[in-house]
A = this chain, B = another copy of it.
Amino acid sequence: MAIARRVAEQIAGSSWIRRMFEEAEELRRGGGQVFDFTLGNPRIDPPSRFTETLIEVARSELPGKHGYMPNAGLSDVRSAVAAYLSREQGVPLEGRHVIMTCGAAGAMNVVLKAVLNPGDEVLASAPYFVEYGTYAANHGGTLVAVPSRADFDLDVEAFGRAIAPGTAAVILNSPNNPTGRVYPESTIRALGDMLEIRSREVGRSILLISDEPYRKLVYDGAAVPSVMKAYRNSVVLTSYSKDLSIPGERIGLAAVHPEAEGCEELIAALSLCNRALGFVNAPVLMQRVVARLQGESVDIRIYQRNRDALYQGLAQRGYELSRPEGAFYLFPRAPGGDDLGFVGALRRERILAVPSSGFGIKGYFRLAYCVEPETIPQALPAFERAIAPYR
């Protein structure tokens, strides 16, 4: 059978990524050490409380323990999450404002399905997590990239100019993938004010979707400001993938601002879309586990040490990069300006990285430093050799 044209195009369009993976696989098969900084797949084990809770829940005897529940999730789980989010966001949420989902990616698809009409636009700051474009297209929408400022902060004015009557939503991702940037409170406030004004001007309430899977991974005492305090027509998405190092378990959520316009209708739509897209409900065992681990996270000091070691090592060797406050990514400039070319040069030194073309801008590369700490000093001489010809 022929596959769908759009899927065939996506496969063809991502052939350079596949080729990159194949070259990486070839490197690995060749033996010897490979320094893999490509994947946001935490190498750090989940916190011990996670494993203890998992075993406890696995052993517990509850009737219908692995059965269906309402599509939005178990009500006691939703209440536990709401209590935690209320403190985090500084806005009082109840269980009914929370929809448990299959990860943040599942949550994003559920939200976009719930609000997009054919031809609608979704705005995101570039560089951005590349799947946003796919997710918008899944539900008949189009992603519009709004270039960030030079320091990777949001360009609120550029967002304001990009908003049109066809704009359904704005995606915010802080701490940011791929830059690691945490947007300051002044930016979030300005964004909220601008969205109020532009919503009135274009005659449509624009939804702010805050994708926050890295919220707990912040360093140097940085804090991620509340989006809900800045703008009421907002939905917060997150997952436990990074907090607890469990990305393969697919557990996350969407939370609707209790004062959002049409809040109840939006909640009903999210619940329906969770079922309609085939997720049905978030995996129930993990719902019970994460409910008991609200606020828990892996020891982020490991990531902070990795960030410091890799940042300093690269800066000393002449790489141009900023020192991000969150997530587990560095986003240096590609020496010479050609990100695909420089990622090839890194690969020849047995370093795997992702070119920024994969994030909607050119001239940078992304390093995921959620690696074992010893990898970094071992890789630095190879980074040194890769940049040498450009100095």
Contact = CB atoms under 8 A, between A and B. Distances in A.
A153 to B, nearest CB: 26
A284 B205 CA distance: 38
B278 A109 contact: yes
Contact of A108 (B10, B115, B117, B278): B278
Interface in A256-289: 260-262, 265-266, 268-269, 272-273, 275-286
A114 interface: yes
Contacts of A282: 250
Nearest to A104: B278
A62 to B, nearest CB: 10
A238 interface: no
Interface residues of A, number: 78
Interface stretch (A64-72, A327-335, A356-364): A64-72
A41 B139 CA distance: 29
Contact of A51 (B58, B102, B266): B58
B64 A55 contact: no
Contacts of A154: none
Interface stretch (A27-35, A130-138, A172-180, A299-307): A130-138
Nearest to A68: B41
Contact of A206 (B1, B6, B43, B105): B1
A279 B276 contact: no
A337 to B, nearest CB: 30
A138 B138 CA distance: 8
Interface in A318-358: none
A107 B280 CA distance: 12
Nearest to A244: B66
A119 to B, nearest CB: 12
A51 B66 CA distance: 10
A269 B113 contact: no
Contacts of A41: 64, 67-68
A61 B152 CA distance: 40
A245 interface: yes
Nearest to A137: B276
A106 interface: yes
B281 A250 contact: yes
A213 interface: no
A310 to B, nearest CB: 20
A266 B3 contact: yes
B43 A54 contact: no
Interface in A120-159: 131, 134-135, 138-139
A272 B67 contact: no
A108 to B, nearest CB: 6
Given A4-B113, A105-B280, 6 more contacts: A1-B233, A4-B115, A4-B117, A4-B139, A135-B278, A248-B284
28 contacts: A1-B266, A3-B114, A3-B115, A3-B266, A4-B269, A7-B269, A8-B269, A11-B268, A11-B269, A39-B68, A41-B64, A43-B67, A54-B285, A55-B59, A66-B245, A66-B249, A67-B246, A68-B248, A105-B280, A108-B278, A109-B277, A113-B138, A134-B276, A135-B278, A248-B284, A250-B279, A250-B280, A277-B277
**4 nearest CB pairs, A to B:** A248-B284, A109-B278, A66-B246, A105-B278
